[in-house]
Every structure is written in structure tokens, then in C-alpha cells.
Amino acid sequence: MILQILLLCVGFVLLVKGADFFVDGAAGIAGKLGIPQLIVGLTIVAMGTSLPECAVSITASVTNNNALAVSNAIGSNIFNLMFVIGVCAIMTPIMVQKDTIARDIPLSVICALLLLGLGYLAWEDAHGMTLGHLDGAVFLGAFAGYIFYMIRTAMKARAEGKKVEIEAVEELEDGELKLLSYPKSSLCIVGGAVAIAFGGDMTVDAASRIAIDLGMSQTLVGLTIVSIGTSLPELVTSVVAARKNEVDMAVGNAVGSNIFNILMVLGIASAISPVSLISENVIDILVLVGFSVVVWFFARSDRKITRNEGIAMVAMYLIYTAYIIMR
């Protein structure tokens, strides 16, 4: 058991650091090729935060650990939305951008409902509720449309002289993410990809063995241990930003990550290998929709999430965690 826990931790480190190296390398190559920073930030850098979840879900799907593939993505979304944002709001009230309230949160709810709908349509499938290759293509098509819309909106705002308030773009423009040379970029891409591949394999294998040893379901492990592990960098980064009172984009980042996790992560996973859903997944998706609506109502009140609302969000997450452990 101790060995499996250590391997799980090593897997998490490989996933997170591999994603960082891969993004640095890809952004460096894109920058050298003259691709605008705005596009690099909205694609390569923004996708980087979802690479660990993507690696875990793809590996789980290919190795027939389907429950882990779905629960990892859903669990990460719930953790980012309720716990990470809740903790930040407790430390300092979070202002919420207009676009997040009017566009991003409703879109994240639509994505969750799309996942639920595609799963329900497959209810009478001979193989049960399965997200097949066609469903993956639908997710990836929607993801491409979302990225295109974001780029178009950002370029329009830039043309009108407005500030593009997207963290991934600001990191590039403020010089926080330095562009590397071709050799270093290539090395980072290869090394990062290898680390992500090994990290995903180690994480899925260790998580599956821990589930067996503790008598836990893969769904429970995915919703808790794995999803929290892959989301720890976001939690640490957000807490550090909260201490500096720099969390204006925290809600938008979490919601954007949730959209990526459904459309990109589950899209790629199901496009490569069919992903089966179980009844617990349907309940968890409905919980995600409910939590998204709660955050939306909180955000609409004075365009900020207060400390009391943050406490309520963390409490709801803990109650949900207790429920999935006992069910």
C-alpha cells in the first residue's frame, strides 16, 4: 500500500511537471514561428492546465478503467469550482468578470448537460452508457468552436483597445512565461510528453491498486484522490494569489478549466477509446451542474464571491465528498 501511494505521488509530479515543460516547449516553438501571443495563450498555455487530467483519462480509457476516466474529469471540475474557489474566497472576496457570469458559467453548464445528454442517449446501447468515437468527435468539434470563439472575441477586444483579461494571455505578454530557443523547446516538448505518458500510466495503475486494496470503487478514487492530486497545482497557485490579493480571474480560470476538462479531456479520451459511464457518473454530473448554478448565483450578487459564500462552497464540497464515500 505504501509503495502504491508513493508511486501515485510520483505519477502526480510527473504529470504536473511534464505538463509545465510541454507547455513551455510548445509555446517556445509557436513564438519562434511568429504565432501571436494571444493565440498561444488561448490555446497552448490554457490547455496546459488540463493535460494531467487528459493523460489520466486517456490512459484509464485505453486500459479499460472507464470509471476512473470519467470520474477524474468530473471530480477535478467539482474540486476546482467549489473547493479551490471557495478557499480563495474565504481568504479574500473574489471579484467576478462580466464575461464569466454572462458567458463562461452558462457555457460550462451546457457542456455538463451535453455530457449527460450523450451518456443518456447511449443508455439503451448494447454496451451500456458509452461515450463512443462519434461522441468524442462531437466534444472535440465543440471544443474547436469554443477556442475559435475565444480567439475571435479576444482579437476583437484587442482591436477596440480593450484589455484581454485572460491569465494565460497575460502571462505571455507580461513576460512571466519566457519563450525558449528551438533546441530547448524541442527538448521540453519531448521530455514533457514522456513525463506525461509515464505519469498518466503510473497514476492510473497506482490508483487502481489502491482502490482494490482499500475496497474502494474506481469512481470514488477518481472523484477524490486522483482528481484532487491533479488539481493541487491550481489550489497552490490560487492560494498564493489569494494571499497577494490577486484573484480577480480565479473564477474565470476555474470555469474555463472545467470547459476544457469536458470538451477536450473526455473528447480526446472517447475519440481514442470508448468510455463507459455508470449510474454514479450521472449523479455526479448533475451535482456538477447544480454546483455551477450555485456559483453563478453567488457571482451575480454584486459581481463577487464573499467570504461567507466561500465558506458555504467549501462546506458543500465536503458534504458531497462525505456522500460519495458513504454511497
Grid cell 476512473 — which residue?
68
Across the chain, mean pLDDT equals: 84
User: Which stretches does DSSP call E strand in 17-125?
Assistant: 94-95
At 166 the pLDDT is 60
pLDDT tens column, 93-109: 888 888 888 888 999 99
**Residue 218 burial by CB count (10 A; 0-12/13-18/19+): exposed, middle or buried?**
buried
Grid cell 439503451 — which residue?
124
CB 58 within 8 A of CB 269: yes
The one-character DSSP state at 180 is P
CB 299 within 8 A of CB 105: yes
Q: What single letter denotes the amino acid at residue 287? A: V
User: Which stretches does DSSP call E strand in the chain?
Assistant: 94-95, 129-131, 275-277, 304-305
Q: Which domain holds residue 218?
A: 2-326
pLDDT tens column, 20-54: 888 888 888 887 777 776 677 667 777 777 888 88
Give exposure, 221-256, as e/b (b: 16+ Cβ within 10 Å).
bbbbbbbbbbbebbbeebeebbeeeebebbbbbbbb
pLDDT tens column, 134-181: 889 999 999 999 999 888 887 887 777 666 556 555 555 555 556 677
Q: Where residue 20 sits, what CATH number does that domain have?
A: 1.20.1420.30
At 152 the pLDDT is 87
**H-type alpha helices, 160-262:** 167-173, 182-214, 218-221, 227-243, 250-260
Residue with the larger pLDDT of the pair 232 and 315: 315
pLDDT tens column, 256-270: 889 999 999 999 988
Which three cell numbers mark 89? 474566497
pTM: 0.86
At 124 the pLDDT is 46
Residue 55 CB: number of other CB atoms within 10 A? 30
pLDDT tens column, 75-93: 999 999 999 999 989 988 8
Look at the chain and report how many structural domains it folds into: 1
